[in-house]
Amino acid sequence: MIKYPMTVEGARALEEELAHLTKVVRPKLSQDIGTARELGDLKENAEYHAAREQQGMVEARVRDIEGRLQNAVVIDVTTIAHTGKVIFGTTVEIANVETDESVSYRIVGEDEADIKQGKISVGSPIARALIGKEEGDVVAVNTPSGLIEYEIVEVRHI
């Protein structure tokens, strides 16, 4: 059984999506199916088939979320002592050794990754290179444009 590391925020977002799907979307789809069924011949009833297809997708997503939450290991990095070491859930400021350009990333679970928000998946090449290293360390990250060296400027537990 695969365990999924997840931040507190990531687990909360999945729980909110699950609640929305089961309490809002599911009842609406049942109503839509009932309404479409009343339109007559089910073989040629596009509304009925569309609603059933949507229902199937919603049920698949509900099962996926339930499975992920059931197998989640929720990690609250704010409760872990700060050692300067990069671990899952920490926010890491890194600086490109050549250009001195700095950027911050939060290392999160697969479902939570969103590069535009500065959240990178724990399985991404940059996160894998950073995990286990400490403030002041220089890490080499293999990127599509070649090998880039970054210095870990700061590790925050936020």
Residue 157 has a pLDDT of: 96
Q: Last residue of some domain: 44, 75, 106? A: 75
Number of separate domains in the chain: 2
Residue 105 has a pLDDT of: 97
Residues 41 and 89 in one domain: no
Residues 14 and 64 in one domain: yes
Distance CA 151, CA 103 (A): 11
Measured between alpha carbons, how far is residue 110 from residues 40, 75, 127 in Å?
A: 44, 14, 11
Q: Last residue of some domain: 75, 94, 117? A: 75
Transcribe 54-113 into DSSP letters.
HHHHHHHHHHHHHHHHHTEEEE-GGGSPP-SB--TT-EEEEEETTT--EEEEEEE-GGG-
Phi, psi dihedral angles at 143 (to 5 degrees): -115, 165
Residues 140 and 104 in one domain: yes
Name the 3-class secondary structure at 46. helix
Which CATH number goes with the domain that contains 40?
A: 1.10.287.180
Q: Last residue of some domain: 57, 75, 93? A: 75
Residue range(s) defining the domain that contains residue 33: 4-75
Which CATH number goes with the domain that contains 93?
A: 3.10.50.30
Per-residue pLDDT tens, the chain, 158 aa: give them.
Answer: 788 899 999 999 999 999 999 999 999 999 988 888 887 777 778 888 888 999 999 999 999 999 999 999 999 999 999 999 999 999 999 999 999 999 999 999 988 999 999 999 999 999 999 999 999 999 999 888 889 999 999 999 99
